[in-house]
Structure 1
Amino acid sequence: MGHQLTLSQLPQRIISLVPSQTELLFDLGLGDRIVGLTKFCIHPKEQVKGKTIVGGTKNFKLDVIEQLQPDLIIGNKEENYKEGIEQLQQQYPVWMSDIYTLEDSLEMMQLIGEITGTGTETRAHQLTQTIRSGFEQLQLPAQQPIKTAYFIWRNPYMAVGGNNFIDNILQHCGFINAFADLERYPEISTELLQQINPQLILLSSEPYPFSEKHIAEFQALCPLATIKVVDGEMFSWYGSRLTLAPEYLQGLIEEVQAAASASL
C-alpha cells in the first residue's frame, strides 16, 4: 500500500483492528502485549475479555486508542476503513495486511512473526507449516469442480464474487464460484440466481447469521441445488483459525459428494 513502517524496537503495546489477526496474535504468544482490539474480536474467548475495546473494524474510537499509546497497530485493507487508518498512521506505527489468497494469509502470519520477535517468528513458521500441510492433504471432489454460490447477506441477497479470500478457499475445496466474474461482493437477484442455477449453495453463518430455517427459501429458488449452512469463520478468518479449516472443509466436501451421489 506504499506505506513503509520502521520500528525502533520490538512492539510492547499492540492494538489489533481485525478479529482473525487478533486471534493470531494470541496464538503467537503475544497476549500480554495486546492492549486493544475491536468489539468483533471474539477469539480466543477467555483471553479477549480483559482487553480494551477500541471500537469496530469500520469505526475506531480514536480517543481510546490515544489513551492506550500503542507502539504498533495491526489492520487490514479490506476490513478497516481508509480514513481511519490514514488518521492513525499520522500518530502511530500502523502495519496493514492485504489478503486475497491462502498464500497471502500465510505470508501475513510470517511477517507479523518477524516484526514482533524472534520467538514469535518461529511460532509463526510452525503455524504456517501446519496450515499449508492441512490444505495440501484435502481430498477434492471426484467429479468436475462444483458450481457453487456462497451467500453472505439476506435482504438483499449478497454473495461472494471473485478476487477475494473466500473465493480462493472455495477453489481449494474443488468448488468453482458461480459469481467469480462479478465484483467482490455482488448483490444477487433471484432471477440471476435461478439463471446461474448453481449445483451447491453455501449459506454463511457470518456476517449475516444464516441458519437452517433459511434453506427452504433457497431450495424454492433452486430445487436441484444442494444447500448447506456453513461456518463462515472457516472460510473467511485468515489467521490462525486456518489450522481448524482443513478438517472442517474436508467434512463439507464429503457431505457435498454424498449428496451429489444420492441425487444421481
Structure 2
Amino acid sequence: MLFTDQMGHQITLPALPQRIVSLVPSQTELLFYLGLADRVAGLTKFCIRPQPLVKQKTIIGGTKNFRFEEIDALQPDLIIGNKEENYREGIEALQQKYPVWMSDIYTLEDALQMMQEVGRLTGTEAKATDLIQQIRSGFRSLQPVPPPISAAYFIWREPYMAVGSHNIIDHILQRCGFRNVFSDLPRYPQITPEQLQKAAPQLILLSSEPYPFKEKHIAEFQALCPQALVKVVDGEMFSWYGSRLLYVPAYLQQVVREVSAASEN
C-alpha cells in the first residue's frame, strides 16, 4: 500500500510492518498503546514509556544521533520519525534504505491525524480511532482560564530558552487560555533576563523536560518577575503528542484551576 506522511513523502508497504523502529518518545508510547509491543524492534534512549516494556527493546541511539549499524541489524520494515525531533541528515540516510514515515506536529489536530495514519500503517485503525475520540472528548471538556493571561514557558536554563511560535507547546498553552508572550519569536528562542522582565508575563511555567526544572528554580524566576506566578509543570503533558494526550486535559484543567485560584488571591 502507498502512504503519504505529514511532510509529503510517500512510502510503500507491501505488508503490515513487523519490525518497527520508532525515533520519537511520544510516538513510541503510542505504538505500545496500539498493542504493537511485539512489533516494535528498536527505539531511542529517550523512549522511556511505557516502562518496563521499552527496556526490552534495542536502543538505536538518540533522537538526533542514530546508530545506523544498530538499525541495519534490526532490518526494519517501517521507521517512524518526526521533523522537529529528529535530524534531517539522519532521516535522509535512512530513507535511502527503509520506508520512513515522518510526522510534523504543530496542533492537536496534527497529532490526531498522525495517530490515524499510524493506525493505518500498522493495521490498528479501530484502536487508533477509539483513542482519537477519547482525546477529542477530553479536550472538548477543557475550560480555559477566564480571562486569558500572559505566560512564558521555559524549556532550558543557562541559557534560558523559552517556547516561541509554531509548535505543539504553544498550541497547548493557547488551549489553556495562556497567551504566550514570546509567540512572535522563533520556535525555541534564547531569552535574556531583560527580555523576560520586559515581557512581564503574569505566569511563568518551568518545564520538567528537556531541562529538569525543579521547585528550587522558582525563586530564580520570581526574582526576575516578582509579579508573576511561577510554577513547575510536567513537560510531557505539554509536549508529548501520542497516546499521552489521553491524560493531558485533566492535567491541564488542574493547572488552570491552580492558576485561577492564585490570580484571585
- Confirm or deny a common fold (TM above 0.5): yes
Deviation at 1:123, TM superposition (A): 0.4
Match of 1:5 among 8, 11, 18: 11
Quote the Cα distance in structure 1 between the aligned partners of 2:194 and 2:77: 51
Which consecutive aligned stretches of 4+ in structure 1 deviate over 4 angstroms post-superposition? none
Match of 1:165 among 147, 165, 168: 168
Match of 1:152 among 148, 155, 159: 155
Task: Give unpaired runs (5+ residues) of structure 2.
Answer: 1-6
SS at match of 1:209: coil
SS at match of 1:23: helix
2:211 matched to 1:211?
A: no
Deviations 1:179-235 (A, max 9, x none): 000010000011110000000000000000000000001000000100100000000
2:133 matched to 1:132?
A: no
Deviation at 1:57, TM superposition (A): 0.1
1:100 corresponding residue in structure 2: 106
2:87 matched to 1:84?
A: no
CA-based RMSD of the aligned residues comes to 0.6
Deviation at 1:48, TM superposition (A): 0.4
Deviation at 1:89, TM superposition (A): 0.4
| Aligned residue pairs, count | 259
2:227 matched to 1:224?
A: yes
Deviation at 1:46, TM superposition (A): 1.2
Deviation at 1:142, TM superposition (A): 2.1
Matching of residues 1-264 of structure 1 within 5 Å? 1-117=7-123, 120-143=124-147, 145-262=148-265
Give the TM-score normalised by the residue count of structure 1.
0.97
2:4 corresponding residue in structure 1: none
Q: Which amino acid aligns with 1:202?
A: L
Quote the Cα distance in structure 1 between the aligned partners of 2:25 and 2:129: 20
Quote the Cα distance in structure 2 between the aligned partners of 1:129 and 1:98: 21
Quote the Cα distance in structure 1 between the aligned partners of 2:255 and 2:9: 40
Quote the Cα distance in structure 1 between the aligned partners of 2:139 and 2:178: 14
Quote the Cα distance in structure 2 between the aligned partners of 1:60 and 1:37: 10
Q: Which amino acid aligns with 1:213?
A: K
Q: Which amino acid aligns with 2:218?
A: I
SS at match of 1:161: coil
Q: Which amino acid aligns with 1:63?
A: E
Deviations 1:2-24 (A, max 9, x none): 42111111100000000000000
Quote the Cα distance in structure 2 between the aligned partners of 1:132 and 1:179: 27
